[in-house]
Amino acid sequence: MAARRALRFTAMAEGSSIGPETLGQIHDEVRRLTVAYPKLALPTLLGDLVEVQDLTFRLLEHGRVKPLQARELYLLAGITSGMLAKASHDLGNPSAAMMQARTAFVCADNADHHAMRAWVRSLQSLISYWAGRPAEAADYADLGQAAAGSVRGTTSVWLACLSARAHALLGDGEATRAAIQRAEDTRAAVQPDDLDGFGGIMTFPEPRQLYYVAEATVHLGEDAALGESQSEAAVAAYRTASEEEWAFGDEAGAQTDLALARLARGEIEGVAEAVRPVLDLPVEQRNFGITSSAQRVHAALPSGGRRATGVAADLREEIEAFTASPTSVLIR
């Protein structure tokens, strides 16, 4: 709270002109939030995100901003709006998420930042994917590819992986495999850019790529054994990931994909083992993506009727209890 108050005071003390201290402090705060977002529960970050977005908007609307300062402020406002779009998505509100994402894209446009445009299109693809609109998710991934142009940062890998997941849900095996190969080729040519320099939610590390590839293969459903081995690789990658690469939401996604892959092979005991770490997550970390992934496992579990017993029945009951208390119940 004291740090947030200091940030507001610095901005106001420098007057209507934006000084280097204000811009530097906002940049540092945005970077802190991008690094923290994949690791910390949303309720601990939401107030700071709203505060920084409001500050950048007010400075852009009412401050005397030099052209180069305006470009940086628009970029910072875009990143913050993108994180708030992700926050709305994590709370299960795709409409608000898209509204924030469109604001982020306008900011990226005003900053004339190609990588940020591509990053926002990636975010819109993610929102559409989890909202059950895979064709729209594929379209946004295509728009991102067009916006990327000469972008060589890890956002280009994210776009290919998003395309793979969307086409897998659409049942297009050829497009899915082509997108997975494109992701591998793009990864080999990556040159980290300024968005990667922010870290956290603004970059797309290799464990996350393994998770997306596994999810695409599992949902395509053509090779259950391959889906299981890829999911195991993704889970293992997150268990050994560096602090910079680890994300609780993506690790949970990899674990639910492993559960789905084992279900496809009839390994019910292995399903329970795979999904256990997910069901042990506290309410603060039960975001929309995680609860949706758990519900996919629930839907795939065999049902023996109301009086069913055994591992599958017990697991169905646990998942129902888990998804009944998502993170959104903590946000008012």
Specify the amino acid at residue 28: D
Predicted TM-score (pTM) of the model is 0.92
196-228 pLDDT, tens digit each:
999 999 999 999 999 999 999 999 999 999 999
Tell which phi-psi region holds residue 191, choosing left (phi > 0), alpha (psi between -120 and 50) or beta: beta
The answer to whether 250 touches 86, Cβ cutoff 8 Å, is: no
Q: For residues 187 and 127, what is the distance between their CA atoms, to the nearest angstrom?
A: 23
Give me the pLDDT at residue 46, please: 96
Model confidence over 229-256: pLDDT tens digits? 999 999 999 999 999 999 999 999 999 9
Q: What is the structure's pLDDT at 303? A: 76
- Structure token pair of residue 40: 């910390």
Mean of the pLDDT values across residues 12-22?
A: 64
Please determine, for residue 119, whether its predicted confidence score (pLDDT) is greater than 90. yes
- The answer to whether 45 and 33 have CB atoms below 8 angstroms apart is yes
What is the average pLDDT score of the chain? Answer: 92
Instruction: Return the pLDDT at 14.
Output: 53
pLDDT of residue 36: 98
Q: What angle do CA 104, 105, 109 make, to 5 degrees?
A: 120
pLDDT, one tens digit per residue, over 35-91 is: 999 999 999 999 999 999 999 998 998 867 888 889 999 999 999 999 999 999 999
Residue 86 confidence (pLDDT): 98
